[in-house]
Amino acid sequence: MLRMASVQSDVFAKSLRCDYKQSDLLTYGGGQGGVPGELDKVCAASVQDLMATIAKLDSNGVQVVAEAEPAGPPAPSPAPPVHSSTDEPRADPNEDWCAVCMDGGELVCCDRCPKVFHQYCHIPTVDKLPDEADAWQCLLCVNFAELPAAPGDELPPPGGGLPPRQQRLVERLTLELYCQYEASLPFREAAQCGAAPRPMCLDAMRVKLQPRSPQRYTHVAQFVADARLLFRNAYAYNPPDSSIYKDAKRLEEFFDAQLLKWLPEYAYWSGEGEPPAKRPRL
């Protein structure tokens, strides 16, 4: 399923609401003396709504409740009751912001969870938009334990790379890391992670997930080793009380929890030396 869920549409809805109230008030007040003041008050309320929307951007998509109006002279009289379609409860269960970049725009909505994604933010990239009527499921909603085994699942593809099942698993783990939005922010781009002699960042790992990339992963251990390198760099080049260091700790703990779930033989492996021997799948 696809939709336009964006700041623009939200802002547009709110400005419409302001217009609606103005016309409503004119009907109630008949254009008499007190109306302009009432209009100002109602529009101020709408501006406050607008500010709450903008604040939502700044707080990474976390719902922000508009602060109470600062204490001031009491309002001369309550505004007449107005009704607006935007006051109705939301029927849309999906979030407003892309789970990876926390921005709006044209987003693909998961039909199984509240998450929405830009086509290029989801891993793997959503090449073709699903039809309006088609259900679409994000990779976070795939339960690998329930996936029936397909022939060739455990074999590398003819052109090289990871076997399909492992490819999906490392894509899932990478998407999970990006969706830890605040903790992953310092580790996304090469420019942020460039101080170490062997820099590593999430975007570089994402490139190696592309089946056509010359540096594509051919073994899960390479993927886990890159993630460990990213975390080691963060610990080596940042003081333990820095926010980057703490974010790395949080993200690595989360990463190990995900490994325990999906690739338990790699949980807590340092990423250096011999990769762990494969244990039977739990």
Give SS3 for 3. strand
CA-closest candidate to residue 154, choices 144, 168, 164: 164
**148 with 15: CB under 8 angstroms?**
no
Please list, in sequence order, all residues whose beta carbon lies within 8 angstroms of the beta carbon of residue 23, skipping any fewer than 6 positions away.
Answer: none
Would you tell me how many other CB atoms lie within 10 Å of the CB of residue 236?
A: 11
Q: Toward Zn ion, which CB reaches closer, 25 or 98?
A: 98
Separation CA 124–CA 131 (nearest Å) = 18
CB of 168 to Zn ion, least distance (A): 14
Task: List residues binding Zn ion (CB under 5 A).
Answer: 98, 100-101, 110, 112-113, 115, 118, 121, 138, 140-141
CB of 199 to Zn ion, least distance (A): 23
**233 with 198: CB under 8 angstroms?**
yes
CB of 76 to Zn ion, least distance (A): 46
Residue 268 CA, distance from chain mean position: 26
Q: Toward Zn ion, which CB reaches closer, 185 or 225?
A: 185
Q: Toward Zn ion, which CB reaches closer, 138 or 177?
A: 138
Q: Residue 124: how many CA atoms within 13 Å on its side-chain side?
A: 12
Q: Toward Zn ion, which CB reaches closer, 117 or 266?
A: 117
Give SS3 for 4. strand
Cα–Cα distances (Å) from 71 to 67, 68, 74, 75, 234, in that order, read: 12, 9, 8, 11, 46
CB of 241 to Zn ion, least distance (A): 31
If you ran DSSP here, which 8-state letter would residue 139 be given?
G
Would you tell me how many other CB atoms lie within 10 Å of the CB of residue 229?
A: 19
CB of 275 to Zn ion, least distance (A): 30
CB of 217 to Zn ion, least distance (A): 23
Q: Toward Zn ion, which CB reaches closer, 121 or 200?
A: 121
Q: Toward Zn ion, which CB reaches closer, 105 or 211?
A: 105
CB of 113 to Zn ion, least distance (A): 3
Q: Toward Zn ion, which CB reaches closer, 25 or 205?
A: 205
